[in-house]
Every structure is written in C-alpha cells, then in structure tokens.
Amino acid sequence: MAKRISLREYQEGVVARLKSAAATAQVNTRLGIRIGQDNWLVDLADVAEVMPVPPVSPLPLSQPWFKGVANMRGNLVSVSDLSAFFGGAALIASPLARLVLLHPKHILHSAVLVERMLGLKHLSDLSVDDTSHPRASTVYRDAAGQRWLALDVAALASDPGFLQAGQ
C-alpha cells in the first residue's frame, strides 16, 4: 500500500527539488557572448539583464572605449565597449549587438556592449584548455575546438582602468 502524503508536504517537496535543480543548472551554465574576435562565457549570477542597445549619449573627455550613458527605465547606466577596453577594435553597431547589465553586487548601473549573444553553454560540454589569456580567468575548448574565455566580472568591476572612464 502506498504511503499517504499531504498535499502540502508534496508541494514543499516539489519546490525543494526545483530549487535544487535550478541551483545546479546555474552553477554549470554560462552565458555565451561575442566580444571582438573572441567567444566569452559569463556567469549568469554576474548578469542582471541583457537587452537590445538603447540610444547611448556620448560624454566628452571620456576614454575611447567608454561609449557614454543610456537611460534604462529611468536610470542612467554607463556603457562600455569591452572589445575596445580589451585593446581590440571598437564595436560596430548592428541589430545583433546587446547591452549586458552587470549585477549590482559588482558595480552599480554599469553595462557592457557586446557584439552578440551566443546562447547558454554548459561547462560539462567544455574542457579546460592549458593556454592562458590576460583577461580571462579560465580558457575552455568545446567539442568543435572553439576557444571560450571565462570573463571574471568581479575582477573587471574592480579594475582601476575600467573604473576610470575619464581622460
């Protein structure tokens, strides 16, 4: 005979299993983005929002990689071109470009401009590569041999060069 369980206990069990599954999925899943010529991975916990690029107002006397500020639902957000900040070519505007708003736990009202989104990538599908990159915390390779660089948002947000957008 099957054990009787109350509806409340059943629902609590389902909620607990869903939370556990979501936590595991977030630990192993990264957001794939294209910055310049490289594929990057960003931890989902470091991203507050991804959106199409709104109008950006340039600011005088700022670094070339600092694109300006954008109004996002009444808040002014600083917009930085990561490709140019990393020493590459400046991003050319396209319909595929996106603004990645960084999580406020790292830096308030800051977004980075990326060339395009590449979808979600599971770390279990990637292998760690023994090469290094000056801006990446880890370098990975996928089954097709493509290189993926892990972006450390906390290190970026505390980089004195990134914080000093003025000339």
Q: 87, 73 in Cβ contact below 8 A?
A: no
DSSP secondary structure, 64-82, as one string:
TTEEEEEEETTEEEEEEEH
Give me the pLDDT at residue 24, please.
54
- Tell me the pLDDT tens digit for each residue of 21-70: 555 555 688 999 999 999 999 999 999 999 999 999 999 999 999 999 99
Kindly state the tokens that stand for 137.
């915390």
User: Which candidate, 92, 91, 57, 94, places its Cα nearest to that of 72?
Assistant: 57
For the chain, residues with pLDDT lower than 70 are 1-2, 5, 18-27
Give me the pLDDT at residue 55, please.
95
Give me the pLDDT at residue 40, please.
96
Rounded Cα distance between 17 and 73, Å, is 35
All domains in the chain, ordered by first residue: 29-163 (2.40.50.180)
User: Which candidate, 89, 119, 110, 113, places its Cα nearest to that of 154?
Assistant: 110
Rounded Cα distance between 86 and 88, Å, is 6
Q: Which amino acid is at 54?
A: P
For the question of whether the overall pTM of this predicted structure is more than 0.75, the answer is yes
Rounded Cα distance between 66 and 114, Å, is 13
